[in-house]
Chain A
Amino acid sequence: MDVSSEHSRATLHLPIEKRAISNPAILNEAYNEATPKSYSRGMRIDLNGLTIVLISGTYSSDEHGNTVHVGDFRAQLRRTLENITGLLAVEGCTWHDVVRTTCYLRDMDRDYDAFNEVRTAFFNEINLDPLPASTGVEAKLCRPDLLVDIDAIAMFQTKGSTGDGNA
């Protein structure tokens, strides 16, 4: 399990510029739970003028790490979307920068209609266009009381780029 033993190709290996994302005002750190969960709430990656934000699987959990809205799918989804909004905001971006989501529902047959109503209403409220690419599937989640979990990828340009393709 030695990770640095061999460089099979004649290249210099340099790390990229990256840092963990958190917003403890709305969502605790997964590492701080009784059994630490070793992941960040998100990762920000800065490439030359392009920033990529990878949001971890996010769910209806509060600043103390407690599941909120147990048994209420719509409220859990709202809180999940708000938690993602909060993580994006810390990095100076918004849902308008999200290019992809993966959405995991605990019970797809029961909840997918409600999921789409709430997601559509939320995206309409913020006039999201174009809509992100997305995959929606059924999966059991990391806590038995969670009904929905969403991860996301956002991208935006920094460094005074005008986005006109001349970078």
Chain B
Amino acid sequence: MHNQRIQKAGDLLTADVNTPVIKHATSNLSVLNEAYSYSKPSSFSRGMRIDLNNVTILLISGTASIDEHGNSIHVSDFRSQLQRTLKNISGLLENEGAGWRDVVRTTCYLRDIDRDYELFNQVRTAFYEQLGLNPLPASTDVQTKLCRPELLVEIEAIAMFRAQPETAGTGLK
């Protein structure tokens, strides 16, 4: 039954003409440079915005403690690196009119999870509580090496919200 349903949907899809979704790269140069601007370009966007009929999806790339000039900041300071990482994600979300309340999922990569996970949780919890965030995003927290040896934490995120064109004269619902 289940498989038949999917098979049928698949048949219909192949009969359609594919058209691209509406999407654009997102950035916030006031907090974070473009990865492509490095001396050796890193070919990824800081995030991608996808506008579907009923929902806007923001895919925030792996984000770390990098400043507007592309430099790693707060070297060897896990707490400050995490705070800057969260701030950079806030900036990317804001640029698309969104906020942490729209984040449905994160993946958090720590360079040394045995050493830093306790502090990670203290800082993340304090940050979310300051925002009154509820419900909390889904998340996966694991250890990996990151793209620069001095980076201690990196977070990627998915946000979803509804964006509707603002019509003249009508206020907020």
Using a CB–CB cutoff of 8 Å, the interface residues on chain A facing chain B are 1-16, 18-21, 31, 35-43, 45, 47-48, 54-57, 96, 102, 104, 129-130, 139-142, 144, 149, 151, 163-165
Kindly list chain A residues whose C-beta atoms are within 8 Å of the C-beta of B173. 12, 14
Kindly list chain B residues whose C-beta atoms are within 8 Å of the C-beta of A151. 107, 138, 140
B160 close to A139 (CB less than 8 A): no
8 A-B residue pairs with CB within 8 Å: A21-B138, A31-B136, A39-B106, A40-B136, A56-B139, A57-B139, A57-B142, A139-B142
Using a CB–CB cutoff of 8 Å, the interface residues on chain B facing chain A are 2-3, 5-6, 8-9, 12-13, 53-55, 86-87, 90, 93-102, 104-107, 113-114, 117-118, 121-122, 124-125, 127-131, 133, 135-144, 158, 160-166, 172-173
Q: Are A39 and B97 also in contact (CB < 8 A) when A13-B162, A18-B104, A141-B113 are? A: no
B121 close to A15 (CB less than 8 A): no
Kindly list chain B residues whose C-beta atoms are within 8 Å of the C-beta of A39. 106, 136-139, 141
CB-nearest residue of chain B to A53: B138
Q: Are A3 and B90 also in contact (CB < 8 A) when A11-B163, A36-B125, A141-B143 are? A: yes
A4 close to B99 (CB less than 8 A): yes
CB-nearest residue of chain A to B165: A11
A41 close to B138 (CB less than 8 A): yes
A46 to chain B, nearest CB (A): 10
A16 close to B160 (CB less than 8 A): yes
A37→B105 CA distance, assembly (Å)? 14
A35 close to B122 (CB less than 8 A): yes
Kindly list chain B residues whose C-beta atoms are within 8 Å of the C-beta of A129. 3
A38 close to B128 (CB less than 8 A): yes
A142→B121 CA distance, assembly (Å)? 11
B32 to chain A, nearest CB (A): 14
A13 close to B161 (CB less than 8 A): yes
Other-chain contact of A140, B12, B102, B142, B163 (Cβ < 8 Å): B142
B121 close to A36 (CB less than 8 A): yes
Q: Are A140 and B114 also in contact (CB < 8 A) when A16-B161, A54-B105 are? A: yes
Q: Are A3 and B93 also in contact (CB < 8 A) when A18-B104, A38-B128 are? A: yes
Other-chain contact of A19, B125, B135, B144 (Cβ < 8 Å): B135
A163 close to B127 (CB less than 8 A): no
CB-nearest residue of chain B to A87: B138
Q: Are A57 and B8 also in contact (CB < 8 A) when A13-B163, A14-B164, A18-B104 are? A: no
Q: Are A8 and B96 also in contact (CB < 8 A) when A15-B102, A43-B105 are? A: yes
A3→B94 CA distance, assembly (Å)? 6
A6→B136 CA distance, assembly (Å)? 23
